[in-house]
Amino acid sequence: MTLTMKLLNGASLCGGCCRHKVLLQLLGPLLSHSKLYSSYRRPGAEPEKKPSWQNADFSLKKGFDTLKTQLSLLKQETQDHLIGPEGQPLSEYMLEQTKVVWQFRSQEDLNKWVISSDVEIGGKSEVYLKLGRNNQAAMLYGTLNTDVPRDGETKYSGYCSMRAKPPLGSFRRKKYYDWSNFNSLYLRVRGDGRPWMVNIYTDPYFSHQKDDLYNYFMFTRGGPYWEEIKIPFSKFFLSSRGRVQDSQHPVWLDKASISTLGFTIGDKVDGPFQLEIDFIGLLNDRAHTEEFAYETYDKNTPV
């Protein structure tokens, strides 16, 4: 602890702010539970004056424990890479027809997901996530409220969402899902008749693409019975900040694109909602031959 503070106070880099930023990047893997992100700030509210680096927990013991954990993860990743793609022999990987990506059988499975609502922008909607009956499914429930916050800037409100945490490799490296062997998303759900939006998040190549999503609708029929839903990836369309884009292209399913998946409800109907999810998987439907369901065109038409 003393050594770390001496490094922060004695480093001769350009400017105090830059000094702390550089050192935090170097000590990032050794920091545990450091809150270096900025939370939502309502319009007109005073910004936090306390530097973010002062909220970091400089603990050598936690740092060494984290280092030990990350090295074990790196060892496991190396062993899986030597076996084959995703730790499977190449023959099994190429012939795989179905795959369960997420299932919900314990609290640990729920911890892989995060929930959010319009409370982040001052709304009044509520959303909760818990295990269903006999710990056999995830139950997403709450109340939708379309009342717009009176902050003078927000025009629309009334949404709740659930999203899987992006996978991380050793030393907090970004990892991506490789779904190139499959052509459909396969789910087993039980809803209350309200429509949902299924969102696929991809890692942006350019900064202006950070809000891009691939979306498609999921209609639940309600009632006491479970339903199995198959959504071809060719049906997903590109949107950005809630607006469907003119230039469309298929979802890139290779291992350098897809980061996570989520569900959103925002049908502008006030009241309670409920969605139970048994599992979320992938399917290679050989009867489905469609490449893309929407029209594509060149932005710059050749003369």
Q: Do 111 and 296 contact (CB within 8 A), yes or no?
A: no
The string of pLDDT tens digits covering residues 38-74 is 455 555 566 667 676 677 777 888 888 888 888 998 8
Confidence category of residue 91, pLDDT binned at 50, 70, 90: confident
Question: CB under 8 Å to 272, separation ≥6 — which residues?
Answer: 141, 142, 143, 144
pLDDT tens digits along 8-41: 444 444 444 444 443 444 344 444 443 333 455 5
Q: What residues contact residue 67 under an 8 Å CB cut-off, 6+ apart?
A: 29, 30
Residue for token pair 């949404």: 159
Residue 131 tokens read as 């295990």
**Is 140:129 a contact under the CB 8 Å cutoff?**
yes
Instruction: Render pLDDT for 212-252 as a digit per residue (tens, 0 to 9).
Output: 899 999 999 988 999 999 999 999 999 998 899 988 989 98
pLDDT, tens digit, 9 for 90 and up, residues 249-292: 899 887 668 889 999 999 999 999 999 999 999 999 999 999 99
Could you tell me the CATH superfamily of domain 97-283? Galactose-binding lectin (2.60.120.430)
Domain ranges of the chain: 61-95, 97-283
Q: What is the DSSP string of 184-228?
A: EEEEEEEE-S-EEEEEEEE--SSGGGTTEEEEEEEE---SSS-EE
